[in-house]
Amino acid sequence: MSVSSNNQPSDPRTPPASADVVVVGAGFSGMYLLHRLRAMNLSAIVFEAGTDVGGTWYWNRYPGARVDVESLAYSYSFSEELEQEYEWEERYPTQPEILRYAQHVADRFDLRRDIYFRTRVTAAVYDENHATWTIRTDHGDAVTARFFVMATGCLSASKLPEIPGLSRFQGATYHTAHWPHEGVDFTGMRVGIIGTGSSGVQSIPVIAEQAADLTVFQRTPAYSLPARNRRLRPEEIAEMKANYRAFRQAQRESGFGLPTPIPTQSALEVSEEERNAVYEKAWEVGSLVAILTSYTDLTTSQEANDTAKAFVHRKIREIVKDPQTAEDLCPDYPLGTKRPCLDTNYYETYNRDNVHLVNLRRTPIVKITERGIRCSDREYEFDAIVYATGFDAMTGALTNVDIRGRDGLSIKEAWRAGPRTYLGIASAGFPNLFMITGPGSPSVLSNMIVSIEQHVDWVLDAIGHLDRNGLKAIEPTVEAQDAWVDHVNEIASYTLYPKANSWYMGANVPGKPRVFMPYAGGVGEYRKKCDEVAARGYEGFVLS
């Protein structure tokens, strides 16, 4: 596996023995945390496994990697100067453009001096007598802190598939989330790619243009919508900059962290003709949510969803010339219940002579061999294999660290039957530990920068409240946590989300409990709830 990005010496500096706050992760969450902690005059240390800031956008350098939320919306709102002065180039920028933005923010706010790069946090133990955490790193350092914040990302613990023989392959292997910094030249190569989630869908068209031959191994087809990416026009940038405050407020109050028109009609109330005209228009918009927000009931009613599903199936059949390939690409689960993808020429790519689709439902992979991939019917030979096989999402990065709370309680044990949090921010038994966009918060069902800023602001307001009141510890009660977990499950049960075997449900990791992890009640409703909790003196938490 190529992980060239991290084959570098460790950070030469030794971190101080103590700090007010230790943050893990220097993606958009950790960066904003550090900026705000400094403004509160709290000492802060950030540990980051990578060699630079950016998190997701540092690691996921696969060809075709792009954001699927528009740049003018997928950006920080905390600094008006940053908002006004930063120049985005594309509607849906590539990974290098977003990484440049993260690096610009790090430079602008001088963040790197408190970030210890190439340093992985391995363990953290709570000391109840002193109300402090001791955080340990893979370099043997230990830092004691009053507060410990896991800003480790929902999608940062990458995952290889459980296929026998992974290490036997003699050619080159890559995971989309650990792409070599120097890039990969597939020219003239026979390439196999496993996985057709967003990472696969984005990389397949680009790899296909380079490789001599590309074989796609698909277990579950994705719903992919055209991005209609383009360069931003100066007048639309100017318009957004003139209206940013109102736009940001609308983002915060919206369902997905993206202001969208609120539908008023059921998909079943209108004629098929009218519905298809609406879907057609939404298909042209180039947006993740345009179709799903066309009617009130597409995420809650199977019958309504079936109409959108049929529309996308028709599109796939129109684009893909080979009828069997087109059928194999049509998903059988409700639209939106697995994260939809936003693509550039994904379905069109299957019309190329050098691209082949293998439907693993018909011919499953048996093993990886020295020469390639053996399916139940035959062996495919490759020069390179790409794993676009995703992440141990939402909980993986949290449980990868040996976190021990009160009385040595391990987070892995506490969450054995599924993650248990209050508001997705904190967990009973783990005082003074905060999670940014943890399970039980809108997180991955939103424009994540909106959710990140809201969580960071809420957590730091809570720390400010403790400090102003001479308090040392904050921890959710088991009752408040149980009620929140029930609420998250109840909201999910009104939706179609649990109908798909998605990473939202933990279904992509063998043995992981089947629990719908994000909060599906919407960003605006969630924010209101968090604000109410704070306004009522941190209701549901014990402050001591």
User: Residue numbers of the site for ligand FAD (CB under 6 A)?
Assistant: 24-30, 47-50, 55-56, 58, 60, 65, 67-69, 74, 120-121, 151-156, 199, 397, 400-401, 436-437, 447-448, 452
Q: 452 contacts which partner out of ligand NAP, ligand FAD, none, CB within 5 to 8 A by kind?
A: ligand FAD
Provide the 10 A C-beta neighbour count for residue 51.
15
Those residues whose C-beta lies under 8 Å from the C-beta of residue 273, and which sit 6 or more positions away, are none
Q: 360 contacts which partner out of ligand FAD, ligand NAP, none, CB within 5 to 8 A by kind?
A: ligand NAP
Strands 541-543 and 341-343: unpaired
Does 195 bind ligand NAP (CB under 6 A)? Our answer is: yes
- 372 vs 518, which CB is nearer to ligand FAD? 518
Judged by CB under 6 A, which stretch of 60-68, 435-443, 473-481, 531-539 contacts ligand NAP?
A: 60-68
- 69 vs 282, which CB is nearer to ligand NAP? 69
Cα separation of 111 and 107, whole Å?
7
- 28 vs 541, which CB is nearer to ligand FAD? 28
- 258 vs 373, which CB is nearer to ligand FAD? 258
Span 438-457, contacts to ligand NAP by CB under 6 A: 444
Does 390 bind ligand NAP (CB under 6 A)? Our answer is: yes
Judged by CB under 6 A, which stretch of 3-11, 61-69, 307-315, 533-541 contacts ligand NAP?
A: 61-69
- 155 vs 365, which CB is nearer to ligand FAD? 155
Judged by CB under 6 A, which stretch of 160-168, 204-212, 250-258, 398-406 contacts ligand NAP?
A: 160-168
Name the residue type at position 289: V
Q: Rounded to the nearest whole angstrom, what is the least distance from the CB of residue 181 to ligand FAD in the complex?
A: 14
Strands 474-476 and 541-543: antiparallel
Which tokens belong to 15? 């971190």
Nearest CA to 93 out of 64, 113, 66 is that of 66
The number of residues making up the chain comes to 544
Of 5, 29, 196, 301, the residue at the interface with ligand NAP (CB under 6 A) is 196
Cα separation of 120 and 183, whole Å?
24
Which tokens belong to 172? 């080159």
Judged by CB under 6 A, which stretch of 4-12, 20-28, 389-397, 457-465 contacts ligand NAP?
A: 389-397
Is 423 in contact with 533 (CB distance < 8 Å)?
yes
Cα separation of 460 and 41, whole Å?
12
Q: In what order do the strands lie in the sheet with 372-375?
A: 365-368, 372-375, 379-381
Does 206 bind ligand NAP (CB under 6 A)? Our answer is: no
List the x/- string, 464-503, binding to ligand NAP by CB under 6 A.
Answer: ---------------------------------------x
Name the residue type at position 540: G
- 126 vs 223, which CB is nearer to ligand NAP? 223
Q: 433 contacts which partner out of ligand NAP, ligand FAD, none, CB within 5 to 8 A by kind?
A: none
Is 388 in contact with 193 (CB distance < 8 Å)?
yes
Name the residue type at position 492: A
- 56 vs 94, which CB is nearer to ligand FAD? 56
Q: 25 contacts which partner out of ligand NAP, ligand FAD, none, CB within 5 to 8 A by kind?
A: ligand FAD
Q: For residue 391, what is the DSSP state?
A: B
- Three-state secondary structure call for residue 209: helix
Judged by CB under 6 A, which stretch of 40-48, 145-153, 192-200, 258-266 contacts ligand NAP?
A: 192-200
- 69 vs 121, which CB is nearer to ligand NAP? 69
- Three-state secondary structure call for residue 40: coil
Q: Rounded to the nearest whole angstrom, what is the least distance from the CB of residue 167 to ligand NAP in the complex?
A: 15
Q: For residue 173, what is the DSSP state?
A: E
Number of residues that bind ligand NAP (CB under 6 A): 30
Does 335 bind ligand NAP (CB under 6 A)? Our answer is: no
Q: Which residues pair with 121 in a beta bridge?
A: 137
Q: Rounded to the nearest whole angstrom, what is the least distance from the CB of residue 525 to ligand NAP in the complex?
A: 21
- 137 vs 307, which CB is nearer to ligand FAD? 137
Of 11, 48, 52, 68, the residue at the interface with ligand NAP (CB under 6 A) is 68
- 152 vs 294, which CB is nearer to ligand FAD? 152
Does 389 bind ligand NAP (CB under 6 A)? Our answer is: yes
Does 205 bind ligand NAP (CB under 6 A)? Our answer is: no
Pure H helices in 358-447: 396-399, 411-414
Sheet strands (E) in 245-396: 341-343, 355-359, 365-368, 372-375, 379-381, 384-387
Strands 142-150 and 433-435: parallel
- Compute CA distances 348 → 193, 198, 208, 354, whole Å: 17, 16, 11, 12
Does 226 bind ligand NAP (CB under 6 A)? Our answer is: no
Residue 457, exposed/middle/buried by CB under 10 A (0-12, 13-18, 19+)? middle
Which tokens belong to 260? 């969208």
Nearest CA to 449 out of 77, 62, 87 is that of 77
- 42 vs 517, which CB is nearer to ligand NAP? 517
- 180 vs 364, which CB is nearer to ligand FAD? 180
Is 118 in contact with 50 (CB distance < 8 Å)?
yes
Q: 339 contacts which partner out of ligand NAP, ligand FAD, none, CB within 5 to 8 A by kind?
A: ligand NAP
- Binding positions for ligand NAP, rule: CB under 6 A: 66-68, 155, 161-163, 176, 194-200, 202, 217, 219-220, 339, 342, 360, 365, 388-391, 444, 503, 508
